[in-house]
C-alpha cells in the first residue's frame, strides 16, 4: 500500500513540488490536469463559499469582468443573486456608473432602510425626472415633511406624464388611509413579520415603517419580501451586505488630469460618491498593475477610505502582488494576456500563462496576507477548478458575454444570434473611455499606438442563472473527484501533472460525430 501511495506521489504532485519542478516553463489550464483522490464527498455537498475580505463573502467564487460588454447593473444583480459579484465597468460617465451601482444596491431589500422619499409640494413631473435621472425601476414613493414625518404614499399609477403638473400632495394616499408598522414591532425576524402582514392585508404591496414620532424609518415591498422568503428556501445563496442588499463592485481607473498627473481630487470624489451609493468594493483595473500610477491610486484610496475593500491589478509576478498589497489592496487580479479578446501577448510580447502566474502570485499573496483572483482565459468549468486550486475566485468575461444580462443588442447573422464582446483595450473600447487602463489617453486612440484587444462576437447563450448553474455544477464535480468539501480543501488536495499535446487531444471529445453538446 505504502509503495502504491509513493508511486502516486511521484507522478501526481502537490503545487509546491509540481510548479518549482516546471520553473522556466509557463503553463496554463490545458497544460495540466488534476489527479483524483479518494473521496467520500458528493458534489452536491461541497461548498463554494469564498471570503475575499472580512466583509466580502461570496457563495460562488465567480466575478463578472469590469468590461463594457459584460457588466452593468443587470449582470451585477443577476450574478450577486447567484452568490457571485459583478464589477461595473468604467467606460461610462461617472454619474452613470453611480446610477448603475444604485440600481444594484436598490434592487432587492429586506427592509429598505433609506427609501427614496418625495415632498408633498413637488410636482409629479419632478418625480418623473428623478426616476429618469437615477434610473429607478420603481414608481411608488413615501411622502414626508421636512422633519421626515410620514404624510402619505405616492402610488405608482399616478406617476405618469399626463399628471406632470399635479402636485404630489394631490395624488398621494394620505397618512390616515395607510397601513404602517412600528419599528419596535420588528424585533426578531422582520421579514417573516412583513410576510405575515402582506398575507393578512389583501392587495397591499407596500408597508412603511415608522418610529414613535411617526417619522419614516423604512419600507417593505411585497415583491422583495416574497423573493427573500423564496431565497431562504433555495440552495443558491445570494451575495449580500449586512443590510441584506446585493453586493456590488465598481471599477475605477488611475485617472490623469490634462498635465498628465494623477487626478487625485477626482478619484477621491468619485470613490466617495460610489461609497455613498453603497458600493462594496472598488477595483483599480489596469493592464499593468505593477506601476507607479496604479500604486499611487491604490494608496490614495486606501488612505482616504480605510475600510473600503480594494481589488487591484493586473499583475503576474510575486513582486507585483507584494507591491499592490503594500499599497493597500486586499485582493489582487492575476492575468496579463490570457483573455479571450486580448492581444497583449501578441502585440507587446508580454504576459504569463495563467497557472504559472497564479502559482507565483499565490506564494506572494500568502506572505502578504492578501487574496488573489484569476482573471481571464477561462473557457470551461474545468479551468475554474484548476484556477481555484491556487486562487480565491475567478473573473470571467467571454464566458458570460453571451448572456442576456450582458449589455448590448442581440444581432442575427446567417440565422444565428450573437452579442458583441470586445476587449477593453480594443480601439472602440478605448475611444469610449478605457484608454487609461492601457496607459494611453482617449484622444490618442484615433492615431493609436497599438490596440491590445479585439472586437468580437459571442453566440447568445442561456440566461446567467443557467450558465452559472452549469459552471457551479462543474466546479462541484471537480471537488467531488478530489474529495474536497470546500475551496480550502481543494487547494490543499490538488495534485498536478502535465499533459502533452496528445493528452490534450484525448481530454476533449474525439473520434466521434457529435450530435448533441454536453451543455
Ligand atoms: P476572458 O477570457 O474571460 O477575459 O474573456 C476577460 C479578461 O480579459 C482582460 N481584458 C483584456 N486584456 N486586452 C487585454 O490584454 C483587452 O483588450 C482586454 N479586455 C479585457 C480583463 O482582465 C478581463 O477581465
Question: Could you report the per-residue pLDDT of 68-110, keeping only the tens digit for each?
Answer: 999 999 999 999 999 999 999 999 999 999 999 999 998 766 7
Candidate of 28, 65, 421 to mutate for ligand 1, largest count of ligand atoms within 8 Å of Cβ: 65
For residue 210, pLDDT beyond 80: yes
Cα within 13 Å of Cα(512), Cβ side: 9
Q: What is the pLDDT of residues 213-238, one digit of tens each?
A: 999 999 999 988 988 887 776 777 89
Which residue's alpha carbon is at the smallest distance from atom 19 of ligand 1? 423
Cα 411 to averaged position of ligand 1 atoms, centre (Å): 22
Single pTM value for the model: 0.83
Show Cβ contacts of residue 425 under 8 Å, excluding neighbours closer than 6 positions. 287, 342, 343, 344, 434, 437, 438, 451, 452, 453
Q: Is the CB of 247 under 6 A from ligand 1?
A: no
Q: Is the CB of 453 under 6 A from ligand 1?
A: yes
Which residue's alpha carbon is at the smallest distance from atom 14 of ligand 1? 342
Taken in order 377, 380, 386, 390, is the CA torsion positive or negative? positive
Beta carbons of 336 and 437 less than 8 angstroms apart: no
Helix (H) or strand (E) holding 410: strand 410-413
CA distance 51 to 59: 9
pLDDT score recorded for residue 443: 60
* Residues 362, 368, 371: CA angle, nearest 5 degrees: 50
Q: If 0-12 CB within 10 Å is exposed, 13-18 middle and 19+ buried, where does residue 236 land? A: middle
Report the number of secondary-structure helices (H) and strands (E) in the chain: 18, 21
For residue 446, pLDDT beyond 60: no
Q: What is the pLDDT of residues 476-485, one digit of tens each?
A: 999 999 999 9
Which three three-digit cell numbers place residue 369?
Answer: 496576507
Q: With pLDDT > 90 as the criterion, what percentage of the chain qualifies?
A: 79
Which three three-digit cell numbers place residue 455?
Answer: 472586437
Cα 503 to averaged position of ligand 1 atoms, centre (Å): 27
Placement of cell 502566474 in the chain: 357
CA distance 114 to 375: 35
Query: Which of 419, 428, 476 has its CA nearest to residue 448?
Result: 428
For residue 242, pLDDT beyond 90: no
pLDDT score recorded for residue 52: 97
pLDDT score recorded for residue 442: 58
Catalytic residue among 277, 437, 493, 495: 437
Cα 453 to averaged position of ligand 1 atoms, centre (Å): 8
What's the whole-number mean pLDDT along residues 309-321? 98
The secondary structure of residue 437, as a DSSP letter, is G
Q: How far is CA 458 from CA 384, 398, 411, in A?
A: 20, 8, 10
Cα 376 to averaged position of ligand 1 atoms, centre (Å): 6
Catalytic residue among 248, 277, 327, 342: 342
What's the whole-number mean pLDDT along residues 388-399? 98
Amino acid at each position: 500500500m505504502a509503495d502504491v501511495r509513493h508511486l502516486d506521489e511521484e507522478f501526481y504532485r502537490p503545487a509546491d513540488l509540481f510548479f518549482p519542478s516546471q520553473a522556466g516553463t509557463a503553463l496554463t489550464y490545458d497544460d495540466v490536469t488534476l489527479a483524483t483522490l479518494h473521496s467520500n464527498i458528493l458534489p452536491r455537498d461541497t461548498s463554494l463559499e469564498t471570503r475575499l475580505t472580512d466583509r466580502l463573502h461570496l457563495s460562488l467564487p465567480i466575478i463578472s469582468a469590469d468590461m463594457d460588454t459584460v457588466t452593468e447593473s443587470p449582470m451585477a444583480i443577476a450574478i450577486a443573486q447567484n452568490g457571485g459579484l459583478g464589477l461595473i465597468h468604467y467606460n461610462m460617465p461617472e454619474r452613470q456608473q453611480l446610477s448603475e451601482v444604485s440600481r444594484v444596491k436598490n434592487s432587492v431589500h429586506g427592509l429598505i432602510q433609506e427609501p427614496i422619499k418625495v415632498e408633498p409640494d413637488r410636482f409629479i413631473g419632478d418625480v418623473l425626472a428623478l426616476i429618469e435621472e437615477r434610473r429607478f425601476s420603481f414608481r411608488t414613493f413615501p411622502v414626508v415633511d421636512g422633519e421626515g414625518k410620514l404624510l402619505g404614499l405616492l402610488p405608482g399609477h399616478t406617476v405618469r406624464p399626463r399628471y406632470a403638473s399635479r402636485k404630489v400632495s394631490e395624488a398621494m394616499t394620505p397618512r390616515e388611509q395607510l397601513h404602517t408598522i412600528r419599528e419596535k414591532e420588528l424585533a426578531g425576524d422582520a421579514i417573516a413579520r412583513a410576510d405575515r402582514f402582506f398575507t393578512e392585508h389583501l392587495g397591499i404591496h407596500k408597508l412603511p415603517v415608522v418610529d414613535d414620532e411617526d417619522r419614516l424609518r423604512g419600507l417593505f415591498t411585497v415583491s422583495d419580501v416574497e423573493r427573500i422568503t423564496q431565497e431562504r428556501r433555495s440552495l443558491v445563496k445570494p451575495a449580500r451586505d449586512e443590510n441584506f442588499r446585493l453586493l456590488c463592485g465598481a471599477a475605477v481607473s488611475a485617472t490623469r488630469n490634462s498635465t498628465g498627473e494623477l487626478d487625485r481630487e477626482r478619484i477621491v470624489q468619485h470613490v466617495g460618491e460610489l461609497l455613498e451609493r453603497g458600493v462594496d468594493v472598488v477595483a483599480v483595473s489596469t493592464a499593468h498593475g505593477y506601476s507607479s500610477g496604479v500604486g499611487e491610486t491604490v494608496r490614495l484610496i486606501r488612505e482616504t477610505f480605510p475600510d473600503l475593500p480594494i481589488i487591484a491589478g493586473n499583475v503576474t509576478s510575486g513582486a507585483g502582488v507584494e507591491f499592490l498589497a503594500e499599497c493597500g489592496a486586499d485582493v489582487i487580479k492575476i492575468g496579463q494576456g490570457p483573455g479571450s479578446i486580448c492581444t497583449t501577448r501578441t502585440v507587446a510580447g508580454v504576459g504569463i500563462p495563467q497557472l504559472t502566474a497564479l502559482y507565483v502570485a499565490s506564494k506572494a499573496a500568502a506572505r502578504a496576507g492578501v487574496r488573489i483572483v484569476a482573471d481571464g482565459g477561462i473557457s470551461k468549468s474545468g479551468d475554474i477548478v484548476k484556477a481555484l486550486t491556487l486562487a480565491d475566485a475567478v473573473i470571467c468575461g467571454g464566458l458570460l458575454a453571451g448572456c442576456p444580462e450582458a449589455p448590448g443588442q442581440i444581432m442575427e447573422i446567417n440565422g444565428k444570434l450573437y452579442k458583441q464582446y470586445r476587449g477593453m483595450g480594443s480601439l472602440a473600447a478605448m475611444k469610449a473611455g478605457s484608454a487609461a487602463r492601457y496607459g494611453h489617453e482617449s484622444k490618442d486612440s484615433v492615431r493609436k499606438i497599438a490596440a491590445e484587444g479585439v472586437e468580437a462576437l459571442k453566440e447568445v447563450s442561456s440566461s446567467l442563472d443557467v450558465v452559472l448553474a452549469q459552471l457551479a455544477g462543474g466546479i462541484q464535480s471537480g471537488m467531488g473527484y478530489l474529495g474536497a468539501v470546500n475551496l480550502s480543501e481543494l487547494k490543499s488536495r490538488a495534485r498536478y501533472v502535465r499533459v502533452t499535446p496528445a493528452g490534450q487531444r484525448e481530454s476533449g471529445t474525439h473520434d466521434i460525430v457529435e450530435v448533441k453538446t454536453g451543455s
